[in-house]
Chain A
Amino acid sequence: MKRIVIHEEHCIGCRLCEVHCLVQHSSSRDVIKAYRRERALIMPRLIVEESGPLSFALQCRQCDEPSCLEACISGAMHRDERTGAVVCDESRCVGCWMCIMVCPAGAIRQNLLGTHIASKCDLCYGAEEPACVANCPNGALTYEDIPDQEEGAA
């Protein structure tokens, strides 16, 4: 399946990925409106890790055998049949945080902005290219077809 590949050597820590992730998951899909009207209710689905000059944007790694899927008690965490991506059905999530407890990348976070659910990358729901990849100014994220392999990260 297609996965987001992280090139930490090219990440410049500008966090445009965060901005565009947030916009992509807003209802208006307009950067100014998303920030003006919805900022208090939406959060970026990725995490920018930063320590000195080293930085990278981290999204769900789309493990072959996702621990979050194993651990999810509500069945919200599932593989999208069309895209193969591991996504969280927010209408089913109850915010038990089991997925957070098991994700080895720490790529899932609590969304407590007026709700109580797990928040993770959804690869922009089958978009040709996720917003973070499309808007990275330095090619630090690429979207590549990488076949499943034997083992997930954990």
Chain B
Amino acid sequence: MRIVIIGNSATAVGAIESIREHDQSAEITVISDEGPMIYSRPMLSHYLAGEIDRARLAYRPSDFWTRHNVAVIADDAVVSIDPVGHSVETNSGRVIGYDRLLIATGGQPIVPPLPGLDLDGVFTFTRQGDATQLSRFLEGVNSPRALVVGGGMIGIKATDSLWKRGAHVTMVELAPMILAAALDGPASEMVCRLLRENGVDVRTENTVTEIHGEDGRVRYATLKDASTVECDVVVFGIGVRPNSGLANAAGLKVNRGICVDEFMRSSNPHIYAAGDVAEAYDLVVDMNRTVAIWPNAYRQGAIAGAHMVGIERPDPGGVAMNTVEVMGVPAMSIGNGNAPEEGHDVLVRLDESANVYRRLVLREGRLVGAILVGEIDRAGIYTGLIRNRIDVGQQRQRLLDGHMSLLSTPEQYRKHVVRGAGIEV
């Protein structure tokens, strides 16, 4: 069995660990257009903030490849897939045959086409190379001024990191509020207020239209509202789109991401896709969609890996979720936390002075989403209730109580969770 994996991030690691749990003989080859280091993308913000050094970006130790008996082709991009000949070809001309192929190419940062992108000081923020360059760039600037484009998760993380690095940050967001995809109004306002209180210039319903330079370096940017922002760096943190070009070219079925079944198989039974590039099942919205988050990437990789070596572990589906810490205040969004009140049973608790906010969304007695700001301990209890589709109609008010507890969940479910491994609800 020859297994080829394109990409060396969470999905690849999930797949490899899963394969090796069941099978020691498969030949695994990983091809990546980045270096051989398995680093953690979500940690780049911590790296940029100066909280960790480069070594701690490592998601798995450097002996991971050898210990799992994996051949790595690094710094070489796959340029095409031959689904008939069961092979892939790389930029350097290598052709590698496979019996099973996993496309784990992730996403690529969205950068709108606008003048000035070629200037020194324009960065994206999803790859180690971007973060390293940005970090180095900042070292050369005294009290840097940064413009962050995008007020979503990536933009916020970049903003928080740049702020921690001592930069003066202006953040522009096209939508009327920041973190619009994850949070609702009050939570978004709370985060926004925290940013502003700490000197971040947040501008909503606005975006950059042109970047102006001097001597090839960024000087200032023009915004949609015709105002200008003086800055040394512009960081695009709008989001990512699935990196599905290879799959498209290979004739696989692709919507926004590569379409996959519950075993992460694409429309070609020998080719799997998982992670940010795949359009897998989301159990909250009850449909397939791309959700570019780390836990999904790992889990889907593991499911794909298992299936390649004959272990059927159907994906129960993912739950969109994310967590971000702004100025030391954590915020979480789980599932449909910002669903509208119409058609939902919404519970809210707000303590503005303490920066605590909680919003729970129920539909037909079942929790479908949660937003937590400030107090986030034990938030996973909500995730569990969402994932297991537990009827919490009887417990609805207790769920909102200050001290979240397993004792606020239905007794049978609580006992199931407490018993731990392996007993169905």
Q: Which of B310-340 contact A (CB under 8 A)?
A: 321, 323, 325, 330, 332, 334
Q: Is the CB of A153 within 8 A of B43?
A: no
Residues A70 and B418 in contact in the complex (CB < 8 Å), given A94-B51, A104-B383, A106-B404: no
Q: Which residues of B contact A94 (CB under 8 A)?
A: 43, 46, 51-52, 56
| Residue contact B381 to A96, C-beta cutoff 8 Å | no
Evaluate contact between B43 and A101: CB separation under 8 angstroms: no
A100 touches B40 (CB 8 A): no
Q: Given the interface contacts A61-B420, A106-B406, A154-B388, does A73 sit within 8 Å of B294 by beta carbon?
A: yes
A110 to B14 alpha-carbon distance, docked (Å): 25
Partner of A102, one of B59, B380, B406, B416: B380
Contacts of B388 in A (CB 8 A): 104, 154
Residues of A within 8 A of B417 (CB): 61, 104-105, 153
A-contact 0/1 string along B51-77, CB 8 Å cutoff? 110001011100000000000000000
Interface string of A79-113 (1 = CB under 8 A from B): 00000000000001011111111111110111000
Q: Is B422 an interface residue (CB 8 A)?
A: yes
From residue 114 to 154 of chain A, which have CB atoms closer than 8 A to chain B? 146, 148-154
Q: Which of B46, B56, B321, B422 contacts A148 (CB 8 A)?
A: B422
Chain A neighbourhood of B423, CB < 8 A: 149
Binary interface encoding of chain B residues 381-399 relative to chain A, with 1 for a CB under 8 A from any of its CBs, else 0: 1011001100000000000
Partner pick for A74 among B14, B43, B381, CB 8 A cutoff: B43
A-B pairs with beta carbons under 8 A, tally: 149
Collect the chain B residues with CB atoms within 8 Å of residue A54's CB.
407
Q: How far is the CA of A147 from the CA of B222 in the complex (A)?
A: 62
| Among A51, A63, A67, contact of B407 (Cβ-Cβ < 8 Å) | A51
Residues of B within 8 A of A70 (CB): 14, 295, 298-299, 302
Q: Which of B189-197, B341-349, B371-379 contacts A (4 or more CB under 8 A)?
A: B371-379
A6 to chain B: closest CB distance in Å?
5
Q: B286 interface residue, CB < 8 Å from A?
A: no
Please state if A51 and B405 are interface contacts (CB–CB under 8 Å).
Answer: yes
In the complex, what distance in Å separates the CA atom of A62 from the CA atom of B417? 11
CB distance from A16 to the nearest CB of B (A): 19
- B323 pairs with A146, CB closer than 8 A: no
A46 CB-CB contact with B under 8 Å:
no
Asked if A97 and B332 make an inter-chain contact with CB atoms under 8 angstroms apart, the answer reads: yes
Assembled-state Cα–Cα distance A75/B43 (Å): 10
Within 8 A of A (CB), among B23-40: 40
> Which residues in chain B, 5-27, are within 8 Å of chain A measured between CB atoms?
14
Q: How far is the CA of A74 from the CA of B381 in the complex (A)?
A: 22
- The minimal Cβ–Cβ distance linking B204 to chain A, given in whole angstroms, is 26
Chain B's closest residue to A54 (CB) is: B407
CA distance A67 to B14 in the complex (A): 12
Interface residues as binary, A1-13 with B (CB distance below 8 Å gives 1, 0 otherwise): 0010010100000
Cα distance, A32 to B199, chains bound together (Å): 45
The answer to whether A101 and B332 touch (CB under 8 A), given A62-B420, A153-B420, is: yes
For residue B295, which residues in chain A have a CB less than 8 angstroms away from its CB? 67, 70-71, 98, 102
In the complex, how many angstroms separate the beta carbon of B47 from the nearest chain A beta carbon? 9
Give B contacts to A, CB under 8 Å. Answer: 14, 40-43, 46, 51-52, 56, 58-60, 294-295, 298-299, 302, 321, 323, 325, 330, 332, 334, 376-381, 383-384, 387-388, 404-407, 416-424
7 residue pairs bridging A and B, Cβ less than 8 Å apart: A51-B405, A73-B40, A95-B325, A96-B46, A102-B380, A153-B421, A154-B387
Q: Nearest 5 A-B pairs (CB), nearest first?
A: A149-B422, A104-B384, A106-B378, A61-B420, A103-B380
